[in-house]
Structure 1
Amino acid sequence: MANIGFRILPMKRKVERSVVEQYRNVVTPHISDNLNRVYAIGSNLRPYHKEGRLLGTALTVRTRPGDNLLVHKAIDMAEPGDVIVVDAGGDTTNSIVGEIMMQIARKKGITGFVIDGAIRDLGAFERDNFPVYAKGVTHRGPYKDGPGEVNVPIVVDGMLVHPGDLIVGDEDGLAVVPYEFAEEVLHKVKAQEIREKEILDSIENGTIDRSWVDETLKQRGCELNDLAKQV
């Protein structure tokens, strides 16, 4: 019988490394736009590292708030390219990770932490480029008793994350690309990059067409009294 709430499961699937690498320079706004802006981890989680992007596949952890026993196990299980993504209930009373865990994770090839909870040893993270996103900071350490689960679907600041999903983080925040959509979204993002470059070029050379603004307002029934056009 399954011990639901206190169990460790295998990783059944993850986005292929070759696909992950093609997201290396993709910004989170483009990912969000092509997922209808609903696949973002909430803005309560912010970067605490010095600089650099987060990119990898999710190794998920659900833990009792303030307890990191299962996070330690996840680090031991992780493969290079994994991101440790932790649902700690958004509680910031106790920290979930600190400098020592960061160094262990780095040595294993883990690409970052996403913690819906708190971290400690802030100075160490701020001096380092190892990506960490968290809800807050506290000096209080964690307990190591459990329960918790590894490699199960979790919710991180309002966003459902499955094991093996693609996680991308930059200065704008965190985006989640579901496993089954990773290649499709990549194609859409590349097309958007081309479109946006064309727009930026048109701004520079003065040919940008802004007629869509008034057209949209008219479609929405807005009364237009544009004084600039009456002069």
Structure 2
Amino acid sequence: MSNIGCKIIKEVQRPDNSLVEEFRNFSVANIDDCLNRLSSVHQDIRPVNKAKLLGTAFTVKVPEGDNLMFHKAMDMAREGDVIVIDAGGSTNRAICGELMINYCKLRGFAGVLVDGSIRDYDALSIMDFPVYARGVTPKGPYKNGPGEINTVISFGGQVVHPGDIVVGDADGIVFIRPEEALDLLEKVKNVSKKEEEIMKTMVNEGTYKRPWVDPKLDEIGCEYI
């Protein structure tokens, strides 16, 4: 008999690391634009430090204020994984702090994301290891369970599958389905190249060409007085 809400899936299908690395130098803003501006996580989930985030999702679902399954996940995840924790968005109790994050760094993980709170902010804020969270509190977690590992979760308003490509910067986080990554990559490259050309024109000619502005104003019937 299955125990609904208390489940650990041992194996995760991860994308090839070379595909993940293709997204290293692209901004979250440009990636989200190419995902029809629908895929970034809620703006309340913020980076704790300036470390750049890139890896593959290792998902964890926990009850609000409980980190039993995170402790188990730390022993299961692999180098390059980003531990993505669905804590229900509750900020009342911290899911982790300095000790757990340092262990994750030691294990070679690529980051920890918490849709909930962390603690030991001063220590985490100067670490060269990506940590994102919705809140900060000194209140510690319970360790009672249940929870899930490597199931589909909700994180900051987005659906996250184990093995999704995770990209984060100071603006926020996006999750990319591996099967959509190659098509997306070409779109992001084109957008980034276009932005570089616009910036070059601004610097060299002192102008920002936007031929669509006046036609759009005409379309919406803007009145000039």
Does residue 122 (structure 1) correspond to residue 121 (structure 2)? The answer is yes
CA deviation digits over 1:52-94, x for unaligned, max 9?
Answer: 2111110001110010010111111101110000000111111
Give 1:222 shift: 2.1
Q: Once the two structures are aligned, what percentage of the paired residues are identical? A: 46
Correspondence for 1:216: 216
1:109 and 1:174 map into 2 onto residues whose CA distance is: 20
Task: Report 1:50-61 matches (<5 A).
Answer: 51-61=50-60
The 1-side partners of 2:116 and 2:142 are apart by: 13
TM-score (norm 2): 0.95
Instruction: List gaps (5 residues or longer) in structure 1.
Output: 226-231
In structure 2, how many angstroms separate the alpha carbons of the residues matched to 1:65 and 1:209? 49
What residue number does 1:162 align with? 161
SS in 2 for 1:152: coil
Distance in 1 between the 2:48 and 2:13 partners?
Answer: 29
Partner of 2:3: 3
Aligned to 2:39: 39
Which secondary structure state, in structure 2, belongs to the residue aligned with residue 40 of structure 1?
coil
Return the letter of the residue paired with 1:155. S
Give per-residue Cα distances to partners, 1:36-62, cap 9 Å, x unaligned: 01111110100112x221111100011
Q: Which letter maps to 2:34?
A: N
- Structure 1 residue ranges, 4+ long, deviating more than 6 angstroms after superposition: none
Match of 2:83 in 1: 84
Shift of 1:10: 2.7
Structure 1 CA distance for aligned equivalents of residues 151 and 224 of structure 2: 52
Cα distance, 1:183 vs structure 2: 1.7
Q: Which amino acid aligns with 2:169?
A: D
> Which one-letter code corresponds to 1:76 in the other structure?
D
Change (3 A) 1:141 1:208: closer
For 2:210 and 2:89, locate their aligned partners in 1 and report how far apart those are by CA, in whole Å.
43
* Matches for 1:1-231 after TM superposition, within 5 Å: 1-49=1-49, 51-206=50-205, 208-225=208-225
Q: Which residue does the alignment assign to 1:229?
A: none
Q: Return the alpha-carbon distance in structure 2 between the equivalents of residues 209 and 41 of structure 1.
A: 31
TM score, norm. by length of structure 1 = 0.93
For the aligned residue pairs, the C-alpha RMSD in angstroms reads: 1.3
Deviation string, structure 1 residues 177-229 (Cα, Å, up to 9, x no partner): 1222112111111111111111111112226433310011112222234xxxx
The Cα of 1:12 is off from its aligned counterpart by 3.4
Q: Which moved more, 1:82-91 or 1:213-222?
A: 213-222
Equivalent pair of 1:20/1:56 in contact (CA under 8 Å): yes
